[in-house]
Structures are given as C-alpha cells and as structure tokens.
Structure 1
C-alpha cells in the first residue's frame, strides 16, 4: 500500500541543528517514532488542533496512535493520548532545507571548491550537525578543506551533504555498474543458516578465550603483589592500579584486527534485529527480522552496497515494498582511508551506525591493520592486480599463500567473504 502525498510542511529538524526542513505530508498509518501533523482534528479534548505536530509514542489498537503529550486524566476522556488515523498525515522528511531564505537540496556527493556543505553526520568535535561551510579548496587527495574552528579544516565526505539550490539540483546517481549489492532482507519463512550462526558463535568463543588469557595474566600480577615483599604499600598499590588499568585498556581496545571484525559482525547482527524509536536522537527503525515475529509492525529492511573499487560500503535503510514503494528512509556510508586495508564487515558496522544516527566506536574507525597474510585475503601483485590468496597451489584463480609471503605482496582486502561461504559476487567495474 503506497502512501498518498498531499502537501508539504516546513519544520525545524533538530537532527540538523534546528535548520528548517521540508516534510512531505503522506496519508498512511504512522510508525512509532515518526512525526505526524493534525489535518482533521476530531474529539480533541482541547489538547490539539489542526496544524499541530507530534511524535508517535505508541500504536493504538491498529486503528490509531498514542501521543503522551496529549494524554488527559482518566475522567477527562483521553488517558491514552489517542489520535485516530483519519486525523493525521505522516510527515516524511525530504532532502530540501531552507537556509537564509533560500531552498536547497541536500545532495550526497563529493563537494567542489566554492560549494556550500551542511554537516549531517558529525564526526569531529570542532563542528556539529547543522553547521554550514564553504569549501575553500580540495587537497591532493580530493578531500574537502574549509575554514572553521581552525584554518584549512578537513571534513570527511561521509559527514556532509552538498547544498544545491533547488533550481539547479540534479539527483546524484552512483555508477550502478560498479556496485556490488547485497541485502539482509529475507522472507519471514526463511531462517538463518545454521553454519553461519555457528561461525559467529565460534568467533565470539575465540574472543572470550582471548580475554580469559589476558585476565589470567592480570590475576598472576595480583598474586605476585599479595606475596610478602620489601616494597612499600604505596608501591604495591601503584602496581595494582597499573595492572587494573592495563586490563581495562585491553577490554576497551581489542588487541587484534580479528577481534574488531568479530565485534563488528556481532554489532551488525544485533542492530539489524533491534527496533529504535527515540525522537531527535536517531531515526525510527522498525526492521523486518527473518524468521521472527516482532512486537512491532515491520516497516523497513537494510540493504548494503559494497563498492570494492572505491573501497566503500553504503547502508541503505529502505521501506518495505508495501510502504512508500520501498524508498530509501536513511543511509550511511563508510569509506576506507588511503593506505588502510579494506574490510566489508567493519565497513558495514560503520555505515549502519551512521545510517541509524548512532555513535561509531573509535575501534572501528582506527582498527589495527592486519599483521600477516591469510587464506582468503586479496593482495595486489606486481602488476597492480587484485588477486585472492589460496591455501595450496597458484593458478589462474589465485596465488598460493607461500608464494604471496615470499613475494611480499601487500594485503588490500581481508574481508574473506568468499572463503567464509557467502554467495556475494563481485560486480562488473
């Protein structure tokens, strides 16, 4: 069932620092966390009127919604804050914002010198969402430089949208031929494969075992401190504090890249099956979870777009086909830094968290680089070609591990998804 668009409402968007944004008025059932506008007020108990807007707190009996802001006392007629479906329209955010009296389209692409950019996914304490800058120059890597809290300040492409006057705006389309598309959406009657679940369990078991080894090392240090020594109590106390600090740091910062990958996989799996509905903190997300019956009404699914040539992962949160025709509700992007090894699992975790408006842990952004070559990695040979590493012999399909180590070829991608049994296929460049 596609919603019917009727009009446009302009309101401040707190996620963009209070900048005015245009919302399409869509006549359909609202989801928890969505913004609605009253257009046909009825039996209001003097709590609301036409033109008022609210955030939906709960669904009510399948025929309406509940809003805490308009609740009355039990004897005053509306203790549940009920609003009937016929009274409201859903306000769906568009990419049009109002800045200094002008209308601009937020376009997700790399900015050019002289263009204005709007911060939408702040990743730096020197600015916040809603800040607007003019691009002063592009550096040698093509990255944006602006004047802000300090001169010639770097802003990552994932943090901003370009502001284009609406009369000049041209929808930006990424080259589809070079994109590898994967999706996490499955029919309700499709259950996850047992081997994949077991793989995650095995990896988490390995991580716990690793932490146990580190804890045992700390316990040995504590045991030594308890033994009679000529050291002063102050020295013993300081040594104990140092031991506990080291253990705390080992928990906060995984010691190996494999630890980070395991954490990223588990993080993505949990995010994909968890609903979120905190207004102005992150977007509302009501996912369809394969093989599970949820207490919420599923509205969305997540699709990942992996571009190995550009070393990017994009997370697209789409409505289900019966809502809004499957249009994109939110997106996030992760781009591998020059010189770093590309990993799709870490990229998915970063991109999905950005799409949901959640904080990205520093351990994802600054993950340790691999220290050795493994079977399933992609390396770059002397001709500049990307070639997979095989366990045994070299042939047209790949190079043997011993040969790669002997040649010293660098690892450029350690996702190892083919070796893990995934059915992803590399898209044509």
Structure 2
C-alpha cells in the first residue's frame, strides 16, 4: 500500500503571538494532530489557520492534483515548494516526470507528490452536490456570496502564482543584466590595465612588452624583455574549455604574470556574457552541423558562410565563445 504523508500550508494566524504569524504561505510536514491543532516538525498550528494536504508518493495520473514538495534546482524553475498544479500529461513514463496545466516547465518526479485528499478538494467536491433549485431565496443568496468569495480567492491564488512567476523571471533577467554589466566593466578595466602597464614599462625603460594572441588555442602570451638584454619573462593566459574567451582580459592576465604581478580575482573569475552582440563569435547547432561557429553581424549586413545576423534565430540559441569584438573597435 502506498504510504501517505500530510502537509499543512499556513493560511493565516489567528493570534499575532503565534510562531507562524510571520510564515504565512509556508508549508510544513505534519507529524501528528489533536482536536484543534496540527503538530508539525517545527511547532503546533491551529487547524483553522492552515490548509491540509494528504499526499501519496507515486506517479500522477492526468487530472490529478499534485503538490510541489521539493522544488529543485532552487531558483531555476518557475514554481516553488508549496505550489499546487493539475497534471496535464505524463511527460516521460520512464522518469515519471509530468507536465501540468498553465506551466511550460516539466515537473520532475522527485519534486512532487499526488494529492489524494485536501480541504480544498473536499470543498470543491461538496459544491458539486449542491442543488441550487432546491434552495430558498435566503439560502441561495448566502450560497451565492460564498461562491463569489471562493471565486475571488481562486483568482487571487492564480494571480499570486502568476506574480511569483513574473517576479522570478524578472529576477533572472536582472541577474543576467548584472552579469553582463559586470563583465563589461571588467573588460574595460583590463583594457586600461594593459595600456597602463605597457606605458609604465616604456616610460621607466624596465621591459619591452609584446603580446601574441592564439585564437585557435584561445590563449594570450606576454613576453617582457629587458632592454639591451636577452633576458625575458613570459606569462600565459588560456581560457577554460567552457569559458568565453576575451582577448583583453587574457592580455591583462598574461602581462601581469610575465611581470610577476598579482592577477585580480575578477580577471580569473569573470562572469560569462549573457547578451549576444555584433562582433561576438558564437557556437550553435544548425541543421548542417552539431557545433557550428560564426561571427555575429548587424541585421543590415550581408551574411554568408561563417556569419549570422544579430536578429536571427541562431543568435538567440547561440553560446558566446569569444566576445573580444576587436573587429568592431571594442
């Protein structure tokens, strides 16, 4: 027999002194109950303040309601622990993942449990048995008010879920913008750093600095040679396989290593670019190749072999592998 579990979601707090008064909307596991309270793993909750869910851990069937018990990975999906959905289809019979109504993401089997009984479900079932024609005027009006209240509650819950989804998307967009903005700052810092170090060594006649860029190897080598001497010092910077190569950051790292200077942490752990721009070199999957590389050009430029337009569908799905953009004067 399938094991059942019980959860409560805090709807309100009758008393402000209740421990859960600041945790409205949170969900907790029920480990026991008495006549008036649910006993959770963190404290007791008045039954009138909570919504009860009884669940089974099994694959959901189409039309069944599911409770998100462990939303993972945190922050990457458009739903969270405590959300309730209706199973629309079995996404994958082998993994037992499902798709739900109103949600583009698929739900992993490890993230949900099937609701087999809940206060909300019981109320809905009770409403289906009501005979409106058999009601008196007073009873019908009272029932109408209850229905309107239920509709307002349902609309509020739907709006709240939509607002949470929009908030998560906005937060993700802001994070991506912040990452791109920070990378832009680091690139400008690296450019200024390279020019300053080269000028200082020329002015002080300490080293003659030369740089060699290997695009194929995604590396930069700096050679610091003493004037009127054969003695030279070398520094190399090479992009990791999964990192985006930027020649300006590479030059700054290589020169600092050749001169024996500390390399700032932001050069070594710079955020990856999130915005495709003209002049970037990108990698994408096309109908011809599994991994094709191309230079991104403006929409009004001609495209051909090795080039894609900024506004093309390929640019939307491409991975940026080189954002040096030296050809466009950056």
Higher helix share: 2
Answer with 1 or 2: which has the greater Rg.
2
TM-score by length of 2: 0.41
Q: Which has the higher contact order (CA 8 A, sep 6+)?
A: 1
